[in-house]
Chain A
Amino acid sequence: MDELIGEFLAETAESLDTIDVELVKFESDPTDRATLDNIFRLLHTIKGTCGFLGLSRLEAVAHAGETLLGKFRDGTLVADSAAVTLVLQSLDRIKLVLAGLEETGNEPAGDDSALIAELEALAMGEAAAPAPAPEPEPEPEPLIAEADGPYDADLGRPLRPGEVSLADLEAAFLATEGPELAGTVLEEETETETGIEADDEPAFGAPAVPARSASGPSAPAGAADGDAARSDGVRAQSTIRVNVDVLETLMTTVSELVLARNQLHQIVRENEDSALKGPLQRLSSVTAELQDGVMKTRMQPVGDAWRKLPRIVRDTQQDLGKKIRLIMDGEDTELDRQVLELIKDPLTHMVRNSADHGIEIPAARLAAGKPETGTIRLSAYHEGGAIIIKITDDGAGLDPDKLRAKALEKGLATADELATMSEQQIQRFIFAAGFSTAAKVTNLSGRGVGMDVVRTNIEQIGGSIDLASEKGKGTSFAIKIPLTLAIVSALIVKAGDARFALPQLAVRELVRAGEGSAHSIESLNGARMIRLRNRLLPVVSLNTVLGLPETSSDASHGYVVVIEAAGRKLGVVVDDVLDTEEIVVKPLSAQLRGIQVYSGATLLGDGSVIIILDPNGLSQQLAHSSEETQAADEMAVSAVDPSRQRLLLVRAGEDDVKAVPVSLITRLEEFDGSSIEVVDARHVVQYRGRLLPLAHASGVDVFKRDGRQAVLVFSEEDRSAGVAVDEILDVVEETLDLQMGSERPGVIGSAIIKGRATEVLDIAWHMERAWSGSPQRPARAGRHPILLVEPDAFARRMMAPLLAAAGYDVTVVSGLREARDAAQMGAQYAALVGDPAALDTLASEGHWADVPRLGVSERAHGMHSEGMLAVMRPADRGGLIAALDRAARTGETRAA
């Protein structure tokens, strides 16, 4: 195609996009003179170029539109919605003709007379008076009752009515205050923060699209504007158009350079005293700079993907009779061109969805107490090595009931499964294929093929999408995508003899699992997991996923790489972890692309080919979501012999071994003896920014001066205390059967542990000591008596020892009859614990009416009744004790 036409097409397409945005802006504030002038100037330029290139059809349409705009400028016509719609229509017609031009190299044949007539009619204030298309002949228009325009040297003909000479226009433009670049200050700040020059203005100098809401306040005229206009001119000259293919080639070449540099590194690394070291260093830094530079050329502001959105929202408003405000924040945030291309459609789809299904009609909004105009907010910002884009609306939000019904209907889940799902999980159903709860599928957002395609598109580029929604309040989507696809940081891991790469972006932490470490790989019916900070994390063995033979690592130890993908965390068991490298991502051939767990391949510095793993693919290998696994885990934990507890064996004071239930301990720490200080006669140590009071488990507060002092940290709500021991011996699992009670403070009783009589420490007492600081303080008068009402045998067996070990005097009854008997005998308790229904029944019968009740049940939600402090889950042992302590304290003031 003619090069001139090619350039014309590119430039005009950009101009038209800008005019679209500007028009929408102008429509919401018709007094915005600056914007109008801008639109006029752009359209005029287009018209002029069309005339120059002999594109008569385009010229005619552009001229008619320009005439109408001229009327807005003079003030002879008010720019109402109808008028603006008409101008937009003329723009659409121009785009249509341009498309035809692009295809064939010539203007397609077509009749625009109707459109032109409408434009002129409106301009002349007449009602649909037909006017012939203006002809480029040097004769005055007979229909228009205006004087012939003067002859214009630039155009080589007299000016048409309504036409302004180029020279006049230039003069007018230079004299007019330009549009204020919204948040000019904001722009500069962003620039200095990111250190990237936003140098990508189109060559003909259209000012940057301001980060303004479509209905926001118009740019106030001011001295700043003049500067802005001038700086625009300067900016325009410092940009250049480069063919995208050239950039691609450049990028590939630089990638090869990075690889070659890595190879050299490898060689030099092995050769200790190589003379190459110095030059290689220089080469390295130069390559890094080059890499950065080329990456920058690929960066485009995300606003480019948002350009079409104001128009789309405006059209939706018109079509559906809604009032919507679009706010765009952070459009200067830059990301890789390739990534931008891939998210354009998903973003458009989501905004359409918000406008179409999210925002309610004005009447409904008012009825709900919301402002008539709905808001859709787009924001973008950098975080880590990724860009976060959020789309938030204050519309109707997602209706969980509708979603549940739809899920049932589509057979995506059974009623039982739905009942156990959290609202978050239910909301994620919208990402399922074919899901759409829109009662009326408008042609704007189409059928529910949308969101699952959106998610797939985003995940394919290594990103993730999440949502939060509240019925009646609104919905918010958050998309996280890597800044660039081409060169990524990756962790190299080993499975068997083979090496694989894991994108650093997805890696959360690295854990050593196995004997001798804090975590071990545990297994339940084939499902593997590790304990990580009081939670269970599902793990999967890389060898297993790849179908490779299992190694010893898989069984019980190895490295576990904790990754996060698609909102889920999981651990990947590998045989070894090597280092982190910067790798160039090369796509796999079609034959291998279908393998879910691979996302590409790369060449390492030593020339070997290794495969890049896809975190999303790995995460999908897991059968359950983490929430389901958690529920399963909790059941699993209680399904394990309930009366067995994990006990920490320690030495404290005398030679005998003492035991502490592990579930009560928050953390095991070791402090340097020298860091233990004495404040106000109390021993404390600085811990996580606070002072941790200490007591010694032996009862005698003597701590190590030097060397490491082992301390068991207990946390309860907002308080923590440390109980020091001489030595931590072992962790065992035993049935805690308290044989003998003890009157000695600090000890609950004895139990047989590992065949020996072992004292079980009264942690509560020690903690009290630590907090109060006075070792002479007697134990609380007796221990709190509590009643455990639990019909379920194994729950009884599990809870009773736990409560006893926490320092309570537990009376256990298995049913209401025994409880009533106890009541009749006048027993008093500080608190009642157990089956919520039973406790409520007792209360309603008047037994222990004032005594605080603490329910324990698998289904912990929505079961509060008056007087019941809380309903805890049996697996939440720590929480149970804490709640009980609180309850007992309040009970203390009431019970006898």
Chain B
Amino acid sequence: MALDYQTSREFVTVRIAGQLCGALVSEIREVFAPQAITAVPLARPEIAGLLNLRGRIVTVVDARIRLGLPPRDPEAPCMSLGLERGAELFGVLVDEVGEVLRLGQDTFEPVPAHLDPRWRSLLSGVHRLETELLAILDMDRLIAADMAMAA
């Protein structure tokens, strides 16, 4: 069944601690393999650090920690979604980057009410895929500065 171009949207899929998540392609500037992250002492735990991307400084946020998931194995590979917000660059660390999917409104569900507060504030919805659920990440909230942790 052909998807209606108007109402469907494209998502880049990523895997974070086994969970399949997606982000709107329009919000993502690029995907890159993070190199040489400089740690920032005193920063919040979800800030993995800073890195140099073609001469620009990128603030790197670890999605796992942001979502309250266990930290990844230091040896394990990871990828980063690059975003631009105003004049600042951000990178969101994920375990793997998958394919781009075009999904329509028919598979979309609002965020389940019984989800824990943290996830509830970071997701903008869920898409029902054939074999699993795709959690749609609200990237703005993910990298937001004043992250009020819900009690």
Contacts and interface: CB of A to CB of B under 8 A. Distances in A.
A259 interface: yes
Contacts of B55: 256, 259-260, 603
Contact of A611 (B44, B50, B52): B50
B29 to A, nearest CB: 15
A608 interface: yes
B59 A608 contact: no
Given A498-B41, A598-B40, A611-B40, 4 more contacts: A259-B55, A607-B36, A608-B36, A609-B52
B145 A498 contact: no
Contact of B44 (A547, A586, A591, A607): A591
B57 interface: yes
Interface in B53-99: 55, 57, 59, 61, 88, 90
Q: Which of A260, A593, A595 has the most CB of B within 10 A?
A: A595
B13 to A, nearest CB: 25
A342 interface: no
A591 B47 contact: yes
A610 B44 contact: no
Interface string B15-55: 00000000000000000000010111111100101111001
Instruction: Describe A's contact surface by its main secondary structure.
Output: mixed
Given A590-B88, A592-B59, A608 B52 contact: yes
Contact of A607 (B49, B52, B88): B52
A592 B57 CA distance: 13
Contact of B43 (A498, A548, A595, A609): A595
Given A609-B50, A609-B51, A548 B57 contact: no
A597 B51 CA distance: 19
Nearest to A256: B55
Contacts of A104: none
A591 B57 contact: no
Contacts of B47: 591-592
A589 interface: yes
Interface string A247-284: 00000000010011000000000000000000000000
Contacts of B36: 607-609
Contacts of B143: 591
B90 A589 contact: yes
Interface of A: 256, 259-260, 498, 546-548, 586, 588-593, 595, 597-598, 601, 603, 607-611
A590 B145 contact: yes
Nearest to A604: B52
Given A590-B88, A591-B44, A609 B145 contact: no
A608 B55 CA distance: 10
B122 to A, nearest CB: 15
Interface string B83-122: 0000010100000000000000000000000000000000
A546 B59 CA distance: 18
B38 A603 contact: no
A597 B42 contact: yes
Contact of A498 (B39, B51, B57, B61): B39
A367 to B, nearest CB: 55
Contact of B88 (A259, A589, A597): A589
A498 B43 CA distance: 15
Contacts of B41: 498, 546-548
Contacts of A595: 40, 42-43
A601 B39 CA distance: 12
A545 to B, nearest CB: 8
A603 B57 contact: yes
17 contacts: A260-B55, A589-B88, A591-B43, A592-B47, A592-B59, A593-B145, A595-B42, A597-B42, A598-B40, A601-B50, A603-B52, A608-B36, A609-B49, A609-B50, A609-B52, A611-B38, A611-B50
Contact of A592 (B40, B51, B52): B40
B46 to A, nearest CB: 9
Contacts of A547: 41-42
Nearest to B145: A590
Nearest to A548: B41
A610 B41 CA distance: 12
Nearest to B59: A589
B59 A591 contact: yes
A601 B143 CA distance: 19
A589 to B, nearest CB: 4
B42 A609 contact: no
A463 B55 CA distance: 28
B148 to A, nearest CB: 13
A259 B52 CA distance: 12
Q: Which of B38, B47, B49 has the most CB of A within 10 A?
A: B38
A635 to B, nearest CB: 33
Contact of A608 (B38, B42, B43, B88): B38
B24 to A, nearest CB: 21
A595 B39 CA distance: 14
A591 B145 contact: yes
A498 B38 contact: yes
A555 to B, nearest CB: 20
Interface in B128-151: 143, 145
A645 to B, nearest CB: 42
Contacts of A592: 40, 43, 47, 59
A256 B88 CA distance: 16
B84 to A, nearest CB: 11
A116 to B, nearest CB: 47
Q: Which of B42, B43, B44 has the most CB of A within 10 A?
A: B42
Contact of A609 (B44, B57, B61, B88): B57
Contacts of A260: 55
A547 B39 CA distance: 12
Nearest to B50: A609
A798 B36 CA distance: 58
Contacts of B38: 498, 608-611
Q: Which of A586, A591, A598, A601 has the most CB of B within 10 A?
A: A591
A586 B51 CA distance: 13
A593 B44 CA distance: 12
B131 to A, nearest CB: 35
A371 B36 CA distance: 67
A588 B39 CA distance: 13
Contacts of B40: 592, 595, 598, 611
A595 to B, nearest CB: 5
Q: Which of B36, B51, B57, B90 has the most CB of A within 10 A?
A: B57
A546 B145 contact: no
Contacts of A603: 52, 55, 57
Contacts of B145: 589-591, 593
A50 to B, nearest CB: 38
A262 to B, nearest CB: 11
Nearest to A495: B41
Contacts of A586: 57
Nearest to B85: A589
Contacts of A548: 41
Nearest to A595: B42
B61 to A, nearest CB: 8
Nearest to B39: A498
Contacts of A259: 55
A259 B47 CA distance: 25
Q: Ordered nearest first, which 6 A-B pairs have the shortest CB separation?
A: A546-B41, A590-B145, A589-B59, A609-B38, A609-B50, A589-B88
A266 to B, nearest CB: 13
A589 B91 CA distance: 12
A614 to B, nearest CB: 12
Nearest to A586: B57
Contacts of B52: 603, 607-609
Contacts of B90: 589
A549 to B, nearest CB: 11
Contacts of A607: 36, 52
Contacts of B42: 546-547, 595, 597-598
A608 to B, nearest CB: 7
Q: Which of A256, A592, A597 has the most CB of B within 10 A?
A: A592
A608 B40 CA distance: 13
